[in-house]
């Protein structure tokens, strides 16, 4: 795999090219492509996750000097969650460079988003090891900091259930309610279908392995349904 085009894209040339390749190497790839000294990206991901959290924390602490700890924590969570960083990875074209097994290469949707998010964090870890904190910080700033104003202005830092409740109370004067429509599966592997209601009107349903997860999914769909 030739990573020169990608290095040009991010404006950084690695001194140790093995670190960059490792950042893109999924564990499954090594099962089909064993080679001495080759490593998957999980250790780099562990390191990159810590660097990412510190960089974003430092940025938010300076940007919002009057915000309490709770709000800053929520803003950070919205900036570094799987959806946000997998979106950043997709825009960088990281999908083209992933080293995956044939089975993993066929995955799409949520599974691929997780792989991309992990690779994004591993890339941060690789940058940190190759050239230190400032280079990793420069990369994170370029890819994520611009999202902050939208996250705060649109309330994207709130979970879906909280957002739906806040907007429903503002627009309809009613607090949404949730009810289990059905549940299937054995006790150790339940699947819940939950409806979210404004008054007696069901707005949407959501599925999950727990009632809480199903409620969040229902609220997420309800926000889309109401175009809120």
* Digit-coded pLDDT (tens) for 38-76: 899 999 999 999 999 999 999 999 999 999 998 898 899
Tokens standing for 48? 């990159």
| Residues contributing to the annotated binding site for Mg(2+) | 45, 118, 121
Domain with CATH 3.30.160.20 in the chain: 160-225
Sole residue written with tokens 């400032």:
134
Catalytic residue (one of 49, 130, 215, 220): 49
CA–CA distance, 157 with 75 (Å, rounded to integer):
5
Domain with CATH 1.10.1520.10 in the chain: 4-153
What tens digit of pLDDT does each residue of 129-178 get?
999 999 999 999 999 999 999 888 877 776 788 778 878 988 989 999 99
pLDDT mean over 14-29: 95
Q: What is the mean pLDDT of the chain?
A: 91
- Provide the strand spans (E) within the chain: 177-184, 191-198, 201-208
Fold category of 160-225 in CATH:
Double Stranded RNA Binding Domain (3.30.160)
Q: What is the pTM of this model?
A: 0.72
From the options 2.30.110.10, 1.10.340.30, 2.40.50.140, 1.10.1520.10, give the CATH code of 4-153: 1.10.1520.10
Tokens standing for 24? 């893109």
Residue of higher predicted confidence among 205 and 209 = 205
Catalytic residue (one of 121, 130, 215, 220): 121
pLDDT mean over 84-102: 93
What tens digit of pLDDT does each residue of 123-140 get?
999 999 999 999 999 999
Residue 49 catalytic? yes
Contacts of 51 (CB under 8 A, 6+ apart): 124, 125, 128, 133, 136, 140
Residue 135 catalytic? no
């Amino acid at each position: 795999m030739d990573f020169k085009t990608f290095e040009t894209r991010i404006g950084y040339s690695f001194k140790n090219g093995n670190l960059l390749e490792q950042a893109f190497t999924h564990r499954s790839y090594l099962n089909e492509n064993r080679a001495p000294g080759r490593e998957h990206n999980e250790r780099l991901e562990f390191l990159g996750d810590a660097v990412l959290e510190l960089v974003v924390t430092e940025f938010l602490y300076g940007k919002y000097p009057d915000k309490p700890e709770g709000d800053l924590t929520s803003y950070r969570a919205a900036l570094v969650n799987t959806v946000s960083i997998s979106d950043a990875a997709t825009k960088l074209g990281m999908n083209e460079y992933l080293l995956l097994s044939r089975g993993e290469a066929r995955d799409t949707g949520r599974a691929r988003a997780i792989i991309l998010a992990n690779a994004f964090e591993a890339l941060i870890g690789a940058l940190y090891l190759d050239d230190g904190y400032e280079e990793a910080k420069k990369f994170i700033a370029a890819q994520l900091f611009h999202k902050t104003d939208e996250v705060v202005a649109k309330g994207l830092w709130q979970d879906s259930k909280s957002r739906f409740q806040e907007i429903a109370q503002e627009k309809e004067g009613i607090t949404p309610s949730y009810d289990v429509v059905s549940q299937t599966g054995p006790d150790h592997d339940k699947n819940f279908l939950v409806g979210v209601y404004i008054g007696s009107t069901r707005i949407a349903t959501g599925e999950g392995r727990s009632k809480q997860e199903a409620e969040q999914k229902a609220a997420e769909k309800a926000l889309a349904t109401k175009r809120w």
